[in-house]
Amino acid sequence: MQENIQRSIKWVTADKKILFGILFGVIVMVIGFAVVSASVKNSSDPATEEVGNSPISDIEIAVAGATSSADISGVENSWPGELISLGSIPIQPAREGTISSWNVHVGQRVAAGEVLGMLSVPPAMPDTIAMLADEQKMVSMARASVDAKRVYAKVRIAQIDELRENTLRSLDASRALLGGSMSMLQVSGGSNFSMIEAKKQTLRAMLRGTLATTYPMLSGNGTLPARWTAVALKDAIGAQNVRLRDAFPSVLFATLSDIDTPDKLPLVSGLAYFELTIKLADASIPDGSMLTDLELMNLKAMLHRDQESFIMAADKLRETELMAVDTEKTSFEQVRMNDNDIAMLRQDLAMAEGDLAAKEAAYQTVKNGVLGNAAIVAPKGGTVSSIMRKVGEFVGPGMPVAVVTGGQSSDYIVRFRIPSNIRKPEIGQEFYVTRSGFPQMMPRAKLIGVGNSLDDTGSIMADALLLEPVDWPIGVSLRVVTGVDTETLEIPLSSIWWDAGASPNVWAVSLGGRLYAKKVSLGRTLGDKIEVYGGLSRGEQYIVKSVPGIAEDMLLDDIKAPDSGQKGESSYDAAMRAMGM
């Protein structure tokens, strides 16, 4: 068989005319196949097919958002980002130095206080040693001062406490002697018998003696009356003023009632009794038998003398009460001053101890910076999510060298960059997050914040909260992808027409082929297309190329085809013409 094939090849190559004929036939077949394919493609063009329930027409219609992958290949619908955690804490060394070793690796779990790495110990210089010596001297002096203050404060507080107790004991004694709620001096009957109480009893005794002496002279009876109706006055007593005679029984019994009441001082009622009886005596008329002139004079003299003695006794009582109040006030003031002195001593001691603690901390800081503290420790438990400096790199205090991330995956957020020349997404909008190499995982994320200022790349920073748990490492690079439903609609410029109010519109097509105008809000112009931010919904049909003669509520079949002068113009020229430019 191989020999037959070789003979055929030799026969064909021997005759050049036959070879040229075969090549020509192959070329004709290829050209014919291309023509047939082009005609088939034109016959299946969506611009000439029926869309939805619309009839076939010369006017091209399209569906908003129904773009092919080739149409969106140049649209930026995803943005770069990274995964961060709200529980991430940067690790910062306490002093400068060179990283000599790392004891952990990224992804390792660490506990609070665990040593992550080591810094090299700097050489001891004379000036640093002198500074350390000065700090140690200040600490020693502060410690000696605190010790001395503690001894002094202890002794002085004990003295003040003893003085305070003496003041309180003196106050109790004064209360007992003068009278008060804390009196400890009692009589055998159990009642308090202080100076104030003694003077009150004196007032009662004086008043009772006055009643026992004057009532027989006023009434002629030798004993005080036990009932209201038993009160009687001589006819000559108060003969010139009947009103005073009528008031005498009530004043007398009020005085007797106050005298017999232990908790009530008969001061007001006693003064009222003296005032009334003196007026009765002045209004009396001696009759020579029941009331002689001598008896009336003796009555008046006795009433005035007893009234003066009663008033003087009341004054002594008030002086004693005032003395008791002053004693209470003085004692309380002394106690307050004692308490204030103790508080000041304790405050001075606390300030000295605080000063010592501050100087010890300063000394320890200088000591760590000069001699040690070479360990880099974790401030909290978590996972080492990043190591930013290599062994041998020089670092300073406050410079982040690693990151420890704690908390749950619910604390993870995606921080990404949005180009400044596109429409800002709204808070709450959802995206999909993808990681390179993991196409099967696309968790959802919800936008929680958008910045207002541009970064170094001219982009706007935004944060999105992951709605689904992931086990990705912190700091991994991600892509934030917009969903199909959230992508911005793009339509040809030729579909836009402007009404009399200079507002942009498109001709929308109902399922029955009827036309109606829809106002739209526009965004960026992308070549021969333009973004639509509102007015036109995804899935609605619209006319791709607006032509003159279209009116509201017109049927699609009633539109006349464009004239020959407008045939062949580009979409951009049609849009400019529709805008009147």
DSSP labels, 39-105? HHHHHT-TTTS--TTPPP-SS-EEETT---TTTSTTS--EEEEEEEETTEEEE--SS-EEEEEE---
Q: How far is CA 13 from CA 4, 16, 27, 354, in A?
A: 14, 6, 19, 110
Higher pLDDT, 94 or 429: 429
pLDDT score of 289 more than 80: no
The mean-pLDDT minimum among 68-77, 190-199, 545-554, 570-579 falls in: 68-77
Strands 115-119 and 109-110: unpaired
* Residue owning tokens 């008969």: 266
**What integer is the mean pLDDT of 522-539?**
81
**pLDDT band for position 151 (50/70/90)?**
very high
Rounded to a whole number of angstroms, the CA Rg of the chain reads 57
Q: How far is Cα 151 from Cα 85, in angstroms, rounded to an integer?
A: 53
Q: How far is CA 278 from CA 62, 119, 299, 313, 501, in A?
A: 124, 107, 9, 19, 111
Higher pLDDT, 512 or 103: 103
Q: What is the DSSP letter of 27?
A: H
> Can you tell me whether residue 379 is helix, strand or coil?
coil
Q: How far is Cα 163 from Cα 24, in angstroms, rounded to an integer?
A: 132
Q: How far is CA 380 from CA 16, 88, 131, 403, 406, in A?
A: 89, 10, 32, 11, 8
Q: How far is Cα 334 from Cα 344, in angstroms, rounded to an integer?
A: 15
pLDDT score of 505 more than 80: yes
Higher pLDDT, 3 or 162: 162
Which strands form 97-102's sheet, in the order they lie side by side?
375-377, 115-119, 97-102, 394-395
Higher pLDDT, 46 or 229: 229
**pLDDT band for position 66 (50/70/90)?**
low
361-396 pLDDT, tens digit each: 888 777 766 666 577 888 888 788 788 888 888 887
Q: Confirm if 340 and 157 have CB atoms less than 8 A apart.
A: no
* Cβ neighbours of residue 473 closer than 8 Å, sequence gap 6 or more: 83, 106, 107, 385
* Cβ neighbours of residue 180 closer than 8 Å, sequence gap 6 or more: 174, 194, 324, 328
**pLDDT band for position 148 (50/70/90)?**
very high
What is the residue-averaged pLDDT of the chain? 77
pLDDT score of 13 more than 80: no
* Cβ neighbours of residue 393 closer than 8 Å, sequence gap 6 or more: 98, 99
**pLDDT band for position 12 (50/70/90)?**
very low
pLDDT score of 186 more than 60: no
pLDDT score of 570 more than 50: no
**pLDDT band for position 147 (50/70/90)?**
very high
pLDDT value of position 74? 36
Q: Confirm if 489 and 65 have CB atoms less than 8 A apart.
A: yes
79-110 pLDDT, tens digit each: 888 888 777 788 888 777 788 889 888 878 88
Q: Confirm if 509 and 541 have CB atoms less than 8 A apart.
A: yes
Q: How far is Cα 360 from Cα 143, in angstroms, rounded to an integer?
A: 9
The one-letter code for the residue type at 474 is I
State the chain's maximal CA–CA distance in angstroms.
Answer: 195
Q: Token pair of 570, please?
A: 């580009």
**pLDDT band for position 469 (50/70/90)?**
confident
252-288 pLDDT, tens digit each: 989 988 888 888 889 999 999 999 999 999 999 888 7
Q: How far is Cα 571 from Cα 579, in angstroms, rounded to an integer?
A: 12
**pLDDT band for position 344 (50/70/90)?**
very high
| Residue among 138, 141, 144, 114 at smallest CA distance from 366 | 138
Higher pLDDT, 147 or 187: 147
Q: How far is Cα 385 from Cα 403, in angstroms, rounded to an integer?
A: 6
Q: How far is Cα 227 from Cα 220, in angstroms, rounded to an integer?
A: 16
Q: Token pair of 253, please?
A: 């019994």
DSSP states of 107-144: T-EE-TT-EEEEEPPPPPPHHHHHHHHHHHHHHHHHHH
The one-letter code for the residue type at 111 is A
Q: Token pair of 91, please?
A: 């690790």
Q: Please, which residues bridge with residue 445 across strands? A: 431, 466
pLDDT value of position 185? 37
pLDDT value of position 475? 77
Which string of b and e fits 514-535 if b means at least 16 CB within 10 Å?
Answer: ebebeebeebeeeeebbbbeeb
